[in-house]
Amino acid sequence: MWYWLFKYILIGPLLYAIGRPSIEGAEHIPEEGEAILASNHLAVADSLYLPLMVRRRITFLAKSEYFTTPGVKGKLLKFFYAGSGQVPIDRSSGAAAEAAMITGRRILAEGKLLGLYPEGTRSPDGRLFKGKTGIARLALETGAPVIPVAMIGTERVNPPGSKMWKPAKVRIRVGKPLDFSRFEGMRGTRFVERAITDEVLYELMKLSGQEYVDIYAATYKAGQAQNGHKTSPSEQGPVQPDTPAAAS
């Protein structure tokens, strides 16, 4: 219930006023049944504008810290993230990637839309970074189609690291579903998982017009931090079913 109240009454009208959002290719999203929405990731606003403009409910995976922060602020955060369709994943253990995979499989088995950011975290500079192969493993295990989604302009509405939102045009471009059934039975083959992931990122590059960088965004951010650029907590993105160490 809260998901729809947030979308149509509590937050949606304000998002429309700030971003004047539009969507192209929405017909590529099935009206029912499981599917993976694979999106580029420019800002926190992505996780608000995409559900706003897609008729069906979208479930995202989110770090558990959003649900366990103490105090009144923590309760408000938990209420908001749960109400906006996000599911908590514990990233503190070595089994975090597998926990995310299990949750992702469950969501898809229920015939729902699962929203994923293959880059694993928000882009630090607006470019499109290398994808993690968890999305390929989910597609191979479940047979769910992968639908590429390009978010455009959200980084101007919600600049990374900024608490203030600014009026700017938001556009969403949805590509045709990608069918990887030709790779059936090949889960666990690193070359195949990398090929699938790269195909998804290539479609995102075409849809978004972003420059592609063949390095993980998390690795790039770590290098920036070592060179004196601190990555703020607000620049860290939702969980994805993969880790840099596990990705090929």
CA dist 81 → 30, 57, 78 (Å) = 25, 14, 5
Residues of the chain where predicted confidence (pLDDT) is lower than 70: 63-67, 84, 90-96, 229-248
The pLDDT assigned to 226 comes to 81
Tens digit of each residue's pLDDT (9 = 90 or more) over 3-25: 888 888 989 999 999 999 999 99
> For residue 240, is it within any domain?
no
pTM of the shown model: 0.85
> For residue 242, is it within any domain?
no
Q: For residue 212, what are the domain limits? A: 2-235
> For residue 243, is it within any domain?
no
The C-alpha atoms of residue 33 and residue 206 are separated, in whole angstroms, by 26
CATH of the domain at 41: 3.40.1130.10
DSSP letter (8 states) at residue 9: I
The pLDDT assigned to 185 comes to 84
Which two tokens mark 35? 């599917």
Residue with tokens 């579903």: 177
Would you call 74 helix, strand, or coil by DSSP?
Answer: helix
> For residue 86, is it within any domain?
yes
> For residue 241, is it within any domain?
no
The C-alpha atoms of residue 219 and residue 229 are separated, in whole angstroms, by 13
Contact, 58 vs 37, CB < 8 A?
yes
Tens digit of each residue's pLDDT (9 = 90 or more) over 104-133: 999 999 999 999 999 988 999 999 999 999
Q: How many domains does the structure of the chain reveal?
A: 1
> For residue 201, is it within any domain?
yes
> For residue 153, is it within any domain?
yes
Q: Report which of 246, 233, 240 is spatially closest to residue 66, judged by C-alpha positions.
A: 233
**Helix, strand counts (H, E) of the chain:** 10, 9
> For residue 94, is it within any domain?
yes
